[in-house]
Amino acid sequence: MNEGDIAPDFELAANDGSLVKLGSFHGKKNVVLCFYPKNHLFGCPSKKIFQMAQATIEAYPQIKEQNAELFAISVDTVQDQKKFVEEYGVPYLHLSDTAKTTCKAYAGLNIAGLAKRSTFIINKDGKISKIFRDISPEKHGQEIILSLQNLK
């Protein structure tokens, strides 16, 4: 998948029990998809995952100001996503892709079958405008905001 491609549609369950369909944002909002391997990654506890996401969490209000929705996606179950979001007060939805089809289509899977850490910025027309594969956790929130501002 490359920048300029049409983003494949998907429908995934969220930590709040809702279903999120990418196509429902077409023509309405920009969408940010943050793929990550897992809430509990081998020796990496949830707290470490939360710390890595902190820059994005802090940038979330500004992301919303850019007429965008942000979703985090991993292979974790809905219950695991719900627990993680509640435990750390994450303000955006985490989507569960236990079938790994969306993670595979977008981010690709690592040798352990988990999503590779990456972020996709999708414009209102449903095209992928930016892909981040080498993510600097401390700067990533600002990178997302700049990418969204460049869509205007």
Q: What is the pLDDT of residues 39-60, one digit of tens each?
A: 765 554 445 566 667 888 899 9
Q: What pLDDT does residue 45 have?
A: 46
Exposure pattern of 107-131 as b/e (b: 16+ CB <10 Å)? Answer: beeeeeebbebbbbbbbbebebbbb
Mean pLDDT, the chain, integer: 90
Which tens digit of pLDDT belongs to each residue from 10-40? 999 999 999 999 999 999 999 999 998 887 6
Residue-range domain boundaries for the chain: 11-149
Q: Does 11-149 carry CATH code 3.30.110.40?
A: no
Question: In the predicted model, what is the mean pLDDT of residues 5-12?
Answer: 97
The half-sphere exposure of 53 on its side-chain side, counting CA atoms within 13 A, is: 30
Assign 4 to helix, strand or coil: coil
